Chain A
Amino acid sequence: MLLTFLGRFHPVLVHLPIGILLIAAVFYVLSLREKYKATQQAVSIALLLGMLSAVASCVTGYLLSISGDYDTDMVSTHKWMGFAVAAVAIVAYFLHTRKSNAVKWVMGLMTMLLFITGHSGGSLTHGADYLTKSVSATVEKKERKPIANVQEAVLYTDVVQPILEEKCYSCHNAAKQKGGLRLDGAEWIGKGGKQGAVVVTGNAEESELIKRVLLPKQHEDHMPPKEKPQLTEKEVALLHWWINAGLSYDKKVKDLSPTEKIKPVLLSLQSAAPGAPKAKPQLPEDAVTKADAGAVEKLSDRGVVVLPVAQNSHYLMANFVTVQDLKAADMELLLPVKKQLVWLKLRNQPVNDAMLATIAQCKTITRLDLSNTKITDEGLAQLKQLPNLQTLHLVGTPVTAKGLLQLKDIKTLQDVYIYQSAVDKNSYATLKAAFPKATIDTGGYNVPTLTGDTTEYTRPRKSRTGCSRNRFRVHIYFTVTPAAFSIRLCNSKFFTNGFKSPDPGPNMASST
């Protein structure tokens, strides 16, 4: 026990020899020059201190290694390297005090060994890919890829494994097995750790994995350790269900008959609920230079609201909402900022086809609002030249389907609004086929007037208080509070304390 305790000091102590021996090496190199000759004495002191701390590190490190939480191969490399550092440091010290010439070789060797040992130690604690990971972090830390259809997904590989990989693997993998546990594969999960099994098939409440995760964060056994990224409520719910549904490693979600409770969680993993708007890249990825201040000012003076889309971006949005007496010359004002202009609103302005020719030169535009303007099919043809157009508002314009079809080569187009335009109802199908990737909103929605909308109730409303849903079901749910964790059989909560159990029969007491 005491030995393990001492071993825990290793991570603190190791920094001493690294720092001190390095500075000894630096002073030694300096002392070779006449100007810094005085540092010679410091080298001896530094080597002595470094040597002692290296020995101390070796001792504590050895004690830590016998706890066995680490990959044996990696530990043994690190161990022998550490011993070598200490040994070489001792040699260096004695050689230096005897003013031997060989000391420079020994010092060089020592420095090299220091780097290697330090690196192998770092790999042990932070994982072998720690160094490279931070470099490619931006690429790797992308969000978990949304699942196209969660029903078809394999529960373990598509849902569970990514969670474990993100939150557990760093300490429970091939290289490092805290508590003797590996979680990076079916056989290892089944095998468990030093303290036995971590999962009980079909019984999440009894599974150590779930129990530990749900312990209060301050608790010693809480997993992941409180300084590491924690599992979210959703992730816990998913692991919980995975265990309860039979700990399958190959079955698809749909074959495991998801419970009511887990359905919304599963659904949220899907890329988007049906009918939901798609996420679209907001801005072009390429950086752009700042717009000419004079050009922006000219637009502002004309009453155009023009400003960057965000504080860290030079891309501009422009809104003509308060411009009066729009003229063709006003459009020309946009040209100096055409590289920056992404969102343009001309709603309710007398924009005509000639002006569109100018707008068509602003190739970075992604959102263009031409609702209630005077543009026609002829003008629309010019917009073919906008390769980045995503959203196009044509509400209340005299454009027709023919005009719209001219734009079918714009691959980026996502939303087109043609409510109250001259597009013929019969051509909706043609448009849909021509723009398979875009949503074309034809509008004309109706909210029918029901009798209820204009009448008032004066007497209590009749209702079936009985429900179409399964009436008596035992849910298991859990609440995580800072103070304590409890798993409750929820119905039991309400029906103990002298509370009558409800009649499970079909004739429920009605409230009416």
Chain B
Amino acid sequence: MTQKELHNERLAAEARQKELQFCTRRHFLKESAMGFGALALGSLLGSCGNNMGMTSPPAFDAAHPLAPRMPFFPAKARSVIYLHMAGAPSQLELFDYPELAKLNGQDCPPSLLEGKKFAFIRGVPKMLGPQANFKQHGNSGLWVSDYLPHFSSIVDDVSIIKSVTTDQFNHAPAQLLMHTGSARLGRPSIGSWVTYGLGTENQNLPGFVVLTSGGNNPDAGKSVWGSGFLPSVYQGVQCRSEGDPVLFINDPKGIDRDLRKASIDAINKVNQEQYKEFNDPEILSRISQYEMAYKMQISVPEVMNINDEPEYIREMYGAQPGKGSFANNVLLARKLVEKGVRFVQLFDWGWDSHGTGADTAVDIGLVNKCRQVDKAMTALILDLKQRGLLDETLVIWGGEFGRTPMQENRDGKEMPFKGRDHHAEAFSMWMAGGGVKGGTTYGETDEIGYSITSGKTDAFDIQATILNQLGFDHEKFTYEFQGRPFRLTDVGGKVMTDILV
């Protein structure tokens, strides 16, 4: 026996010894009692399960968590680009053309204030007419304001939902509700649900990419792209459009690609041993994440480089390489979707038009925010269309709530700039591509844009519709956690068939 063999044998013996230490008398008693019980219970539960055939949720394959999986039914959309304007854009300046102008400057009638709570409005505020000019556009004649001169040229490709409502009037919970189906922390985001259900087609790239702009992350923090109780491999991967797309993506000095590969292989081997012992799927997730990170070191810088896009395309989006902007992110979103990324989530911060300063005034700051996104989002739709990708890519645009038809009077005082407070009751969103009927509006508000008169739509309805377009029945797409199946749409949600082709 050589020295090395002897050494290995000693190591193995030590490992066995350690393993035995885990196994106490208590373990034996517990496991034998539980074991038989569990066997019986397992077969009992197995026989009365209601997961029949096609409706069963996809089985989680810990070794290949992101492997592409088939949907319940043939999907209209294969990818999603979700443009979230964090801070809540004013529907009254953009899409929802209300006859609010005639009330401008008058005191708000008590009927609108009774029993209502606002984030900042106190006492009796004044009504504030729309600051934009509205016109009908396209063959469909949808109303869009001159805040969005580019977007108004593509209304025939989008469906504007004017009757979205929420029950949260603060940013963080409202954003959580829009993206995770719960105003409280801990639920998986929609991108996580989608990658959990469908995996992703390009194994060299993450399935769920998050890009932020506007100088801040959304108020709800990174939990709006978190994986909640789903395995952590499904959380969104945040990339940057400025500097390295992912922090620390390059190998440090002195480590070359082969050495990196060797060390990852070694780490994975250890993890593999660990998994054999404890059977914890999170370990497999970790292994696959190491592997994905290694592949991403090559593929991500490649796809995240907008320099290789021709000048006229960058011009179309208004993208400028090297800057962290919404336009750059939108262009990246198109590139990612083209490469088979399943869900691209964009957040653009700075839409909270309270009127506390010029940058949040509905007639100054909001105009500038619109200018930052208008050209880029229009270019996105048109570029996807000419590449034949709009048919299979669902684009969603919206905020977390709307804004009041009353002018904000923080602390009951008149404010130096025109602003609007948070308004949960009614706001607008739009969707395009991925089987959405273009040139349509859905739902209506009263003539001052205050409450919904028809087609009430909540976050669950939006989520149900997104899942439906991807081939999921939102009522049957569940994940077992803490002893019960969870759904993205909880107990709500109806697919908005009226806006679908």
Contacts and interface: CB of A to CB of B under 8 A. Distances in A.
Interface of A: 233-234, 237, 261, 264, 267-268, 272-279, 282-283, 305, 307-313, 319, 321-322, 347, 369, 371, 391, 393, 395, 415, 417, 419, 441-447, 449-450, 452-461, 463-469, 471-473, 475, 477-479, 490-491, 493-500, 502, 508-511
B133 interface: yes
B74 A313 contact: yes
A54 to B, nearest CB: 40
Contacts of A493: 111
Interface in B376-419: 378-379, 382-383, 385-388, 391, 417-418
9 contacts: A264-B440, A272-B437, A273-B438, A307-B69, A443-B385, A445-B383, A457-B368, A466-B101, A509-B106
Given A275-B157, A276-B156, A312-B54, A467 B105 contact: no
B367 A457 contact: yes
B364 A459 contact: yes
Interface of B: 53-54, 68-76, 97, 99, 101-107, 109-112, 128-135, 138-140, 149-150, 156-157, 201-204, 315-318, 338-340, 358, 361, 363-365, 367-368, 371, 374-375, 378-379, 382-383, 385-388, 391, 417-418, 435, 437-441, 444, 446-448, 453-455, 471, 498, 501
A450 B149 contact: yes
A308 B471 CA distance: 12
A430 B388 CA distance: 21
A391 B150 contact: no
A282 B440 contact: no
A473 B98 CA distance: 13
Contacts of A276: 156, 437-440, 501
B483 to A, nearest CB: 26
Contacts of B385: 441, 443, 445
Contacts of B338: 347
A494 B202 contact: no
B446 A321 contact: no
A450 B148 CA distance: 11
Given A276-B501, A473-B99, 11 more contacts: A321-B339, A415-B388, A447-B379, A458-B358, A461-B364, A465-B101, A477-B453, A478-B453, A494-B103, A494-B111, A511-B128
Nearest to A308: B70
A307 B470 CA distance: 15
Given A309-B70, A460-B418, A497-B109, A371 B364 contact: no
Given A264-B441, A279-B501, A479 B453 contact: yes
B40 to A, nearest CB: 30
B438 A502 contact: no
A49 B139 CA distance: 72
Given A371-B387, A458-B358, A273 B374 contact: no
Nearest to B327: A453
Nearest to B157: A275
Nearest to B407: A511
* Majority SS at the chain A contact face: loop
Contacts of A444: 386
Contact of B439 (A273, A279, A310, A479): A273
Contact of A453 (B135, B140, B374, B386): B374
Nearest to A491: B447
B109 A447 contact: no
A494 B448 contact: yes
Contact of B315 (A312, A442, A449, A458): A449
A262 to B, nearest CB: 11
Contacts of B386: 395, 417, 419, 441-445
B385 to A, nearest CB: 7
Given A445-B383, A502-B103, A467 B134 contact: yes
Given A452-B149, A508-B102, A275 B387 contact: no
Contacts of B471: 310
Contact of A467 (B101, B316, B363, B446): B101
A449 B140 contact: no
Contact of B201 (A319, A441, A458, A464): A319
B387 A499 contact: no
A441 B382 CA distance: 11
A307 B439 contact: no
B391 A443 contact: no
A465 B128 CA distance: 10
A511 B105 contact: yes
Contact of B140 (A273, A279, A457, A467): A273
Given A445-B383, A494-B448, A460 B364 contact: yes
B333 to A, nearest CB: 16
Contacts of A495: 109
Nearest to B132: A463
Nearest to A452: B371
A499 B438 contact: no
B102 A322 contact: no
A308 B54 CA distance: 12
Contacts of A456: 368, 371
A500 to B, nearest CB: 6
Nearest to B388: A417
Contact of A268 (B139, B204, B358, B498): B498
Contacts of A496: 109, 111
Nearest to B76: A282
A274 B439 contact: yes
A1 to B, nearest CB: 41
Contacts of B202: 321-322
B371 to A, nearest CB: 5
Contacts of A468: 134-135
B109 A310 contact: no
Contacts of B139: 273-275
A310 B315 CA distance: 39
Nearest to A456: B368
Contact of A307 (B70, B140, B453): B70
B441 A312 contact: no
Nearest to B371: A452
Nearest to A460: B363
A275 B140 contact: yes
Residue from the set A456, A457, A493, A509 with the largest chain B CB neighbour count within 10 Å: A457
Given A237-B454, A311-B71, A499 B131 contact: no
Q: 7 closest Cβ contacts across the A-B interface? A: A443-B386, A417-B388, A445-B382, A275-B156, A311-B54, A273-B439, A274-B139
A499 B109 CA distance: 6
Contacts of A274: 139-140, 156, 439
B388 A457 contact: no
A472 B103 CA distance: 11
Contacts of A452: 149, 371
Nearest to B316: A447
A459 B379 CA distance: 28
A305 B66 CA distance: 12
Contacts of A312: 53-54, 72-73
A511 B54 contact: no
Given A311-B70, A417-B386, A463 B368 contact: no
B364 A458 contact: yes
B340 A465 contact: no
Contacts of A307: 68-70
Task: Give the most central of A305, A442, A473: most B CB within 10 Å.
Answer: A305
Most A CB within 10 A of own CB, among B156, B435, B446 = B446
B104 A465 contact: yes
B364 A464 contact: no
B157 A447 contact: no
Nearest to B340: A321
A469 B141 CA distance: 14
A421 to B, nearest CB: 11
B103 to A, nearest CB: 7
A277 B102 CA distance: 38
A452 B357 CA distance: 21
A415 B391 contact: yes
A234 B444 CA distance: 12
A441 B140 contact: no
Given A268-B498, A276-B437, A511-B128, A310 B73 contact: yes
